[in-house]
Amino acid sequence: MTQPRPRIPEATVARLAVYLRVLTGLADGGRTTVSSGELASAAGVNPAGLRKDLSHLGPCGVRGVGYEVATLRDRIARVLGVERSRACVLVGIGNLGAALADYAGFGGRGFRFVGLFDAAPARVGQRVGGQPVRPMEELAEVVAATAASIGVIATPAEVAQSVCDRLTAAGVRSILNFAPVALVAPGDVDVRQVDLSVELQVLAFLGQQRDAGAPALPAPAVEVPA
Amino acid sequence: MTQPRPRIPEATVARLAVYLRVLTGLADGGRTTVSSGELASAAGVNPAGLRKDLSHLGPCGVRGVGYEVATLRDRIARVLGVERSRACVLVGIGNLGAALADYAGFGGRGFRFVGLFDAAPARVGQRVGGQPVRPMEELAEVVAATAASIGVIATPAEVAQSVCDRLTAAGVRSILNFAPVALVAPGDVDVRQVDLSVELQVLAFLGQQRDAGAPALPAPAVEVPA
DNA sequence: GCGACTTTGTTCCTGCGTTCACAAGCGGTT
DNA sequence: AACCGCTTGTGAACGCAGGAACAAAGTCGC
């Protein structure tokens, strides 16, 4: 009954999600097989690293040929746990929340939002992404009824912790937090933090560093023909 | 170079951005000093790691006391290049693009959008976050006029590469891509990828792993099925 | 049927990031 | 003025991720 779970590194899991997306696209395009080199280039990673990532799933390719697109896609989907659709609740239907609710990349990849919640009475009742926005009072009820295991927080930072508390109290065990605060949660709850502005600041730093120290750099920019 | 710039690890840079946000909040709250332990807890990291991160900036704390909030904040801001405001252009004003344009976390942290662009004629002319949406034809012009160094892509995946090409052609050297495709760009252009659904899939994986193996299994060392 | 080519899966190695633990330094107290 | 406790900064070890090279294995051509 147990899965092949010799512990997959988290960095590998993140890349597996990318491979899954690429493979889904290839399958929709009618491709039946793909080589590690091609897949790696489409995913933006090193071919050897890709093969190492896939090796965690056990042998799933054919030497001399490559990987069967549909088979590999299904296998990754099963390992990632997106084989069956997962119920998620989304709290905070501001600009970002509405964008997330509408984001096609979620529904198409095994996630479905079973409840959108907001504390502002003005927002409650509006329809976003085909669903009505519900008041916070219904949160526990919906989580219990749908067995939602994932909660997404897209509220202002000030209320994120209290939303987190309510989600965990309702039984949610996994939380994705877009608010720029570090949440504290019970040890058996997974919390992942996404700060949209952090990436922008890393970019600014790299740009400043490049501009400051690179002028005399050789950097003939050899092109890599794909 | 007068700058102590012996290469700061990228992971450290990302955390410095988080420290900067926490410090700004503390300063606004009137705090004058803070210890590494407290700051680390607010940022969700290990105290020793935080001190190591800060050590890249040179000594900036007082032993036995802690760090001076305002001083440390300004120092990190200078290192990250957030001291002066940076001009950014944003392409793709859909749900996500509108959320980004409105996101207060950007303007407050040294980034200002000097141009919002969309290919859909229906969107052009609308005002989002206090600015008008412009047609793609004006992209190169605006980038040249404002010396924007950062471009943000929030378009559908299909057109992201062509937008990337136009941005680089216009002179943008740093690109933040929210579209789920790996972009190819010249070697002197920094491209950073953010896939919102990847984090969700990592969460699903961790949740599945927890549910399947947590009851009493420490590490069963199971092997692959068939 | 056999050889050669292609591509996977694995192994080794190098470098980086993270953590632990300790010495150094400063403020407050007596 | 000297001691003591607190906190920083740094040095070292551990573990992990990434990259390159090699061997196994299967297919295609002759």
CA distance B148 to B9: 25
Residue B71 is assigned to a structural domain of this protein: yes
Domain CATH code at residue A94: 3.40.50.720
Distance CA A162, CA B116 (A): 34
pLDDT of residue A190: 92
Distance from C-alpha of A37 to C-alpha of A224, rounded to nearest angstrom: 14
* Listed residues B57, B80, B103: the one ending a domain: B80
Provide the CA A66 to C1' C2 distance, Å, integer. 24
Joined tokens for residue B79: 């290192």
Mean pLDDT along residues A217-223: 37
Q: What domain range includes position A109? A: 86-199
Mean pLDDT, residues A149-166 taken together: 96
**Domain for residue A213, yes or no?**
no
Query: Looking at A80, A108, A129, which one is the last position of a domain?
Result: A80
pLDDT at B218 over 90: no
A226, pLDDT greater than 50 = no
Task: Name the least confident of B56-65, B191-200, B204-213.
Answer: B204-213
Identify whether residues B98 and B163 lie together within a single domain: yes
Q: Which residues pair with A86 in a beta bridge?
A: A111
Tell me, yes or no, whether B215 lies in a domain.
no
Would you state the pLDDT for residue B148?
95
Q: Do A207 and B96 touch (CB under 8 A)?
A: no
Question: Are A96 and A73 in the same domain?
Answer: no
- On whether residue A205 sits in a domain, the answer given is no
- Whole-number Å distance between alpha carbons of A17 and A29: 19
pLDDT at residue B145 tops 80: yes
Lowest mean pLDDT across A83-97, B98-112, B143-157: B98-112
Residue B66 in any domain: the answer is: yes
For the purposes of burial, counting CB atoms within 10 Å of the CB of B181, is it exposed (0-12), middle (13-18) or buried (19 or more)? buried
Decide if B170 contacts B139 (C-beta within 8 A).
yes
B104 shares a domain with B70: no
The answer to whether B165 and B190 have CB atoms below 8 angstroms apart is: no
The CATH number that applies at residue A41 is 1.10.10.10
Q: Which nucleotides of C are covered by protein (CB under 7 A)?
A: 5-11, 16-21, 24-27
Please, which residues bridge with residue A98 across strands? Answer: none
Ramachandran assignment for B90, one of left (phi > 0), alpha (psi -120 to 50 degrees), beta (any other): beta
Q: Are residues A35 and A91 in the same domain?
A: no
Q: Which token pair is A15?
A: 């890349």
In the listed set B80, B96, B120, which residue is the last one of a domain according to the structure?
B80
Using the Cβ of B126 and the Cβ atoms of chain A, whether some distance falls under 8 Å is answered with no
Q: Which of A150, A195, A213 sits opposite B204 (nearest CB)?
A: A150
Q: Is B18 helix (H, G, I), strand (E, B) or coil?
A: helix
SS3 assignment, position A218: coil
Residues B101-143 pLDDT 10s: 988 778 778 899 999 999 999 999 999 989 999 999 999 999 9
Q: Is B121 on the interface with A (CB under 8 A)?
A: no
Is A223 among the domain residues?
A: no
> Do A48 and A126 belong to one domain?
no
CA nearest neighbour of A78 among A125, A110, A102, A34: A110
Taking 90 as the threshold, does the pLDDT of residue B62 lie above it? yes
Q: Which of A180-194, A198-212, B2-16, B93-107 has the lowest mean pLDDT?
A: B2-16
What's the pTM value of the predicted model, to 2 decimals? 0.89
What digits encode the pLDDT tens for the residues B8-53?
899 999 999 999 999 999 999 999 999 999 999 999 999 999 999 9
Query: How many Cβ pairs closer than 8 A exist between chain A and B?
Result: 228
How many structural domains does chain A have? 2
pLDDT of residue B213: 61
Q: Which amino acid is at A105?
A: G
∠ CA B97-A93-B176, rounded to 5°: 25
**A6 confidence band (pLDDT: 50, 70, 90):** low
Phi-psi region of B14 (alpha: psi -120 to 50; beta: other; left: phi over 0): alpha
Same domain, B137 and B178: yes
pLDDT at B226 over 50: no
Residues A90 and A67 in one domain: no
Could A17 and B202 be called an inter-chain contact, meaning their C-beta atoms sit closer than 8 Å? yes
* CA of B43, C1' of C15: distance in angstroms: 27
Q: Mutating which of B15, B78, B82, B95 best tests the A interface, going by the most A Cβ atoms within 10 A?
A: B95
Average pLDDT for residues A125-146, to the nearest whole number?
96
Indicate if A14 and A112 belong to the same structural domain. no
B176 neighbors B192 (Cβ within 8 angstroms): yes
Asked whether residue A191 falls in the same domain as residue A165, the answer is yes
Its sign, for the CA torsion A193, A199, A202, A206, is positive
Report if residue A23 sits inside a domain. yes
Q: How many Cα atoms within 13 Å fall on the side-chain side of residue A115?
A: 28
DSSP characters over B48-95: HHHHHHHHTT---SBTTTBEEHHHHHHHHHHHHT-SS-EEEEEE--SH
Q: What is the distance between the alpha carbons of residues A207 and B189, in angstroms, rounded to a whole number?
A: 9
Q: What pLDDT is stored for residue A194 in this prediction?
A: 92
Instruction: Yes or no: say if A110 and B205 are a contact pair by the CB < 8 Å rule.
Output: no
Q: Do A20 and B187 touch (CB under 8 A)?
A: no
**A129 phi and psi, to 5 degrees?**
55, 35
Assess whether A16 and A118 both reside in one domain: no
Residue B217 has pLDDT above 50, yes or no: no
Within this chain, do residues A102 and A49 fall inside the same structural domain, yes or no?
no
Helices B36-43, B47-55: axis angle to 10 degrees equals 100
Q: Is residue A63 part of a domain?
A: yes
The answer on B179 and B92 residing in a single domain is: yes
Is residue B74 within 8 angstroms of chain A, CB to CB? no
A213 band by pLDDT with thresholds 50, 70 and 90: low
Q: What is the CA radius of gyration of chain B?
A: 21
